[in-house]
Amino acid sequence: MKYILGIATIFIGAFAGCDRATPPGQADLVLRNGRVVTMDPARPEAEALAVRGDLIVAVGSEGEIDAYIGDGTRVIDLEGQLVVPGLIEGHGHYMSLGASLMQLDLRPARDWDEIIGMVADAVDGAGPGEWIVGRGWHQDKWDRAPEPAIEGLPTHGRLSEVSPDNPVMLVHVSGHGVFVNARALQLIGVSRDTPDPEGGEFVRDEQGEPAGMLRESAQDFARAAVAEYRSRRSPEEIEAELRRQVELAGTEALANGITSFHDMGESFETIDLFKQMADEGALPVRLYVHVDESSEVMAERLAEYRMIGYGDGFLTVRAIGERVLDGALGTHGGWLLEPYSDLPRSTGFNVIPVAEIQRSAELAAQHGYQMAIQGIGDRATRELLNIYEGVFAQHPDQDDFRWRIEHCQVIHPDDLPRFAELGVIFSVRGVFATSDGPWVIARLGEERARDRGYLYQDMFRSGAVVINGTDPPVEDIDPIANFYRSVTRMMENGSVFFPEQRMTRSQALASYTVNPAYAAFEEDLKGMLSVGKLADITVLSQDIMSVPEEKILDTEVIYTIIAGKVRYSGGK
């Protein structure tokens, strides 16, 4: 009788349009009794799905999917929870995320004094001469200004007092500057006589002495010293630490429902480690890795490193990223067409010279790589569109570039339609609108902030592809918080940052699923729940597409499934 019912179900399934390519047989995993949002226009919603091996074999109603349940099937009753395609972090820094989980987290600090206290505690536990590294501070997020202050930034005096012998490097939340103490300045040989490097500056006090802040390219002095200190460890110690970073970043991603991660820039050396770990089956999430090397080095090695779906689809290398044309708005580094409203002497910085980016773009076209370069200010975005347009014109034989511009925080209205025209992808961080919102109007002025800043809805309307992500470790990897910020533009202070640019919930979900799949040339594999796609699935505790706005943040990740395997389970 049971058998006959099974047959009947198959027929009903076939005629009801059950999305099924293989005949029912035992599935390895069935998710049932849920609300499945597939992102597949042919069948946008379902109640259940079946997985065999690493693929989805059926998506349908409860009755349709029951036919796939056998003795060896793991059946998960979702009790009405929400199933969405595995979430894709569209722009993050995988190894930095891992490293950040091993450093002082300065984000919760409410003022400069708290940071000094945290460093003082770290000094107590540090070895002689050991570098103390922290990250995540932002002067405009403090409850009160530091005293004394230069251009809103602290001076190193009291930091140097609590850590006289240990060099200290505190990375700005934007990653576009570091703050150091006297011992560090001494080690890197920076004094009042040191000229500012190209593309950066040493912030100085009234006497011309370095005050501690190293903006943009000036931070390289301190970063190089930390790297040099760390390189003195044994190769075994170094590899063990790198593997720990991979694991920590993976644990963090999985706990947040992330199944694929667009890693915006790693060296060939790090890619070698990823490859080795992919061979061992030890990569925790799927990585879409962008190469970050000089064009000189890339010219020699890009061809040998291009790999697609390596290690059972856990490692793809086919893009050039991280490389930054300009700096961040928080550090007055974003390259603008007109000067900063609150720093009229400056239009920001061109960090990596236009000519070098141009060379990288030519190499990318030559070797079949995608470009994903950071353009934050409206000048930077325009320069990048010009470079991309020029290279596309030189390669009329290629018609599927899908090149990206990262962040796109300030865009001149004349440049907005150029993305769709050129097929360039908007790669935005929804959460930046609300974390920058409280101070960015001072940087840009009200009118420019409204007309050119964080134009998410205009981007979708322009017809170009928009992808999302949080730039971890710059912001928490949390896709739920980012979804909430993207659809509400509600800032911590309770006001809404230009509500006309809010994403709809469908747009926000697309920006985490189908769109980043497309941006990685993986739309045949990922981004929607349909037959034949990879069984990369995220289960959430409640329906973020319909719960009241103020409830969205209560959502928990219940399961993170990659290739049909449950890699994280949480919730109550």
Residues that bind Zn ion (CB under 5 A): 264, 471
Query: Residue 73: what are its φ and ψ, rounded to 5°?
Result: -90, 130
The per-residue b/e assignment along 528-556, b for 16 or more CB within 10 angstroms, e otherwise, is bbbbebbbbbbbbbbbbbebeeeebbebe
Contacts of 227 (CB under 8 A, 6+ apart): none
Q: How far is the CB of 43 from Zn ion (least distance, A)?
A: 35
Q: How far is the CB of 266 from Zn ion (least distance, A)?
A: 12
Q: Given the complex with Zn ion, which of 216 and 471 has the nearer CB atom?
A: 471
Q: Where are the beta strands (DSSP E) in 93-147?
A: 104-105, 132-137
Q: How far is the CB of 484 from Zn ion (least distance, A)?
A: 21
Q: How far is the CB of 112 from Zn ion (least distance, A)?
A: 25
Q: How far is the CB of 406 from Zn ion (least distance, A)?
A: 6
Q: How far is the CB of 375 from Zn ion (least distance, A)?
A: 12
User: Strand 87-92 and strand 258-266: pairing?
Assistant: parallel
Give the H or E element holding residue 55: strand 55-60
Q: Given the complex with Zn ion, which of 56 and 474 has the nearer CB atom?
A: 474
Closest CA to 257 of 285, 283, 277, 278: 285
The span from the CA of 472 to the CA of 249, in Å, is 10
Q: Given the complex with Zn ion, which of 90 and 154 has the nearer CB atom?
A: 90
Q: Given the complex with Zn ion, which of 404 and 452 has the nearer CB atom?
A: 404
Cβ atoms within 10 Å, residue 71: 5
Q: How far is the CB of 175 from Zn ion (least distance, A)?
A: 7
Q: Given the complex with Zn ion, which of 409 and 507 has the nearer CB atom?
A: 409
Determine the 3-state secondary structure of 335 from DSSP: coil
The span from the CA of 158 to the CA of 273, in Å, is 40
Q: How far is the CB of 326 from Zn ion (least distance, A)?
A: 12
- As a whole number of Å, the CA-based R_g of the chain is 25
Q: Given the complex with Zn ion, which of 372 and 528 has the nearer CB atom?
A: 372
Q: Given the complex with Zn ion, which of 318 and 407 has the nearer CB atom?
A: 407
Determine the 3-state secondary structure of 64 from DSSP: helix
The span from the CA of 107 to the CA of 175, in Å, is 13
Query: Residue 201: what are its φ and ψ, rounded to 5°?
Result: -160, 155
Q: How far is the CB of 486 from Zn ion (least distance, A)?
A: 17
The span from the CA of 473 to the CA of 539, in Å, is 23
The per-residue b/e assignment along 12-48, b for 16 or more CB within 10 angstroms, e otherwise, is ebeeeebbbeeebeebbbbbbebbbbbbbeebeebbb
Q: Which residue in the shown chain puts its C-beta closest to Zn ion? A: 471
Q: How far is the CB of 135 from Zn ion (least distance, A)?
A: 13
Q: How far is the CB of 342 from Zn ion (least distance, A)?
A: 24
Q: Given the complex with Zn ion, which of 92 and 212 has the nearer CB atom?
A: 92
Q: Given the complex with Zn ion, which of 383 and 471 has the nearer CB atom?
A: 471
Determine the 3-state secondary structure of 111 from DSSP: coil
The angle subtended at Cα 270 by Cα 267 and Cα 275, nearest 5°, is: 125
Q: Given the complex with Zn ion, which of 264 and 302 has the nearer CB atom?
A: 264
Q: Given the complex with Zn ion, which of 264 and 519 has the nearer CB atom?
A: 264
Q: How far is the CB of 268 from Zn ion (least distance, A)?
A: 19
Q: How far is the CB of 265 from Zn ion (least distance, A)?
A: 8
Q: Given the complex with Zn ion, which of 94 and 392 has the nearer CB atom?
A: 94
Closest CA to 463 of 420, 414, 502: 420
The span from the CA of 74 to the CA of 58, in Å, is 15
Which residues are bridge partners to 315 per DSSP? 287, 310
Query: Residue 197: what are its φ and ψ, rounded to 5°?
Result: -75, 165
Determine the 3-state secondary structure of 436 from DSSP: helix
3-state secondary structure labels for all residues of 493-541: CCCECCHHHCCCHHHHHHCCCHHHHHHCCCCCCCCCCCCCCECCEEEEC
Q: Given the complex with Zn ion, which of 190 and 264 has the nearer CB atom?
A: 264
Q: Given the complex with Zn ion, which of 13 and 472 has the nearer CB atom?
A: 472
- Can you say how many angstroms the Cα of residue 498 is from the centroid of all Cα atoms in its chain? 23
Q: How far is the CB of 429 from Zn ion (least distance, A)?
A: 8
